[in-house]
């Protein structure tokens, strides 16, 4: 990736000549990092809180908004709104909806284009916001439409595999959380087919599949998937191994869980190292 030349490119992936906070911007540019999370870490290292991050993001937003009579700034404004919405979402602020809806409206014209993944990304964030705020019907619309967009894009271009898998995870997890585990399994297994594209290596869909099976009373399958999630998470993270194995021990005896670990080893689904680590953790938990 070529080195970014300005703060908006680092934060939002869209270059511009918008400037501000030169000392902070220069320091962050020199680090070669990208994204809001990296910027938050950098600002904290300087001794500031997230309030400073918010101040900077809102100043950039206001400047982009002022320039939006020039339609060339719409892409940047949409990216800014989406990222501020995600930032507020992480902090639990209700203001997330305002910015995510603004991004949604700006990106709505991207529907059916190759850039529709940006629209789907915003819709997934809106879905999460609506779940957190008890607006289940709105969340369902967002998650289902985001999934549909990403599935069509993946099948059409054979790209955006990560975004497609993530949309399937979000939809499947939403169905689990709204007491439709049987339907959730369909989308979580679909995501699992693309686990190589996920940073978690499949640990998250395996864990959520286990939750669905447990909810459906299929405890043997739930135990197996808790163990599979744990085995991957030993290397990849994303799932708390102790929590996952602890859940298995709540629905099966220690002997049954150990037997399932041995079965996965004999089938070649986990290696000897992971077998030793998993049984060691189970010993401490049991």
Distance CA 125, CA 103 (A): 11
Q: Do 4 and 99 lie in a common domain?
A: yes
Question: What's residue 1's pLDDT?
Answer: 42
Q: How far is CA 70 from CA 75, 77, 100, 103, 223, in A?
A: 11, 11, 21, 17, 56
Q: Do 99 and 1 lie in a common domain?
A: yes
Q: What are phi and psi of 269, to 5 degrees?
A: -85, -15
Query: What is the total count of domains within the chain?
Result: 3
Please identify, among 139, 169, 191, the residue that sits at the C-terminal boundary of a domain: 191
Q: Do 184 and 203 lie in a common domain?
A: no
Range of the domain at 268: 199-286
Q: Do 132 and 209 lie in a common domain?
A: no
Q: Do 105 and 133 lie in a common domain?
A: no
Distance CA 180, CA 172 (A): 9
Distance CA 1, CA 12 (A): 15
Radius of gyration of the chain (CA): 22
Q: Do the domain assignments include residue 120?
A: no
Q: Do 95 and 12 lie in a common domain?
A: yes
Q: Do 150 and 212 lie in a common domain?
A: no
Q: Do the domain assignments include residue 252?
A: yes
Distance CA 119, CA 222 (A): 34
**Would the pTM of this model clear 0.75, i.e. be above it?**
yes
Contact 30, 6 (CB under 8 A): no
Q: Do 213 and 181 lie in a common domain?
A: no
Question: What's residue 2's pLDDT?
Answer: 45
**Digits of tens for pLDDT over the chain (286 positions)?**
445 568 898 899 898 888 878 888 889 988 888 999 999 999 999 999 999 999 999 999 999 999 988 888 899 999 999 999 999 999 999 899 999 999 999 999 888 788 899 999 999 999 999 999 999 999 999 999 999 999 999 999 999 999 999 999 999 999 999 999 999 999 999 999 999 999 999 999 999 999 999 999 999 999 999 999 999 999 999 999 999 999 999 999 999 999 999 999 999 999 999 999 999 999 999 7
Please identify, among 168, 191, 214, the residue that sits at the C-terminal boundary of a domain: 191
Distance CA 11, CA 57 (A): 9
Q: Do the domain assignments include residue 119?
A: no
């Amino acid at each position: 990736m070529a080195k970014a030349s300005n703060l908006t490119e680092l934060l939002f992936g869209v270059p511009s000549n918008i400037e501000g906070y030169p000392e902070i911007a220069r320091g962050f540019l020199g680090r070669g990092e990208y994204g809001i999370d990296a910027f938050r870490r950098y600002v904290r290292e300087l001794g500031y809180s997230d309030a400073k991050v918010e101040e900077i993001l809102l100043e950039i937003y206001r400047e982009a908004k002022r320039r939006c009579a020039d339609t060339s700034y719409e892409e940047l404004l949409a990216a800014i709104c989406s990222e501020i919405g995600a930032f507020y979402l992480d902090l639990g602020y209700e203001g997330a909806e305002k910015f995510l809806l603004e991004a949604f409206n700006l990106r709505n014209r991207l529907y059916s284009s190759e850039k529709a993944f940006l629209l789907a990304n915003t819709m997934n964030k809106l879905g999460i916001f609506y779940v957190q705020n008890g607006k289940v019907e709105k969340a369902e619309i967002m998650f289902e439409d985001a999934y549909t967009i990403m599935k069509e894009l993946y099948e059409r271009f054979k790209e955006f595999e990560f975004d497609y898998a993530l949309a399937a995870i979000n939809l499947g997890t939403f169905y689990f959380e709204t007491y439709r585990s049987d339907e959730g399994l369909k989308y979580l297994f679909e995501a699992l087919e693309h686990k190589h594209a996920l940073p978690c290596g499949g640990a998250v869909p395996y864990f959520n599949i286990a939750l669905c099976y447990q909810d459906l009373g299929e405890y043997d399958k739930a135990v197996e998937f808790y163990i599979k999630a744990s085995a991957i998470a030993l290397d990849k993270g994303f799932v708390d191994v102790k929590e996952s194995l602890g859940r298995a021990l709540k629905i099966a005896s220690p002997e049954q869980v150990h037997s399932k670990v041995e079965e996965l080893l004999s089938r070649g689904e986990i290696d000897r190292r992971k077998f030793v680590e998993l049984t060691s953790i189970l010993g401490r938990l049991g």
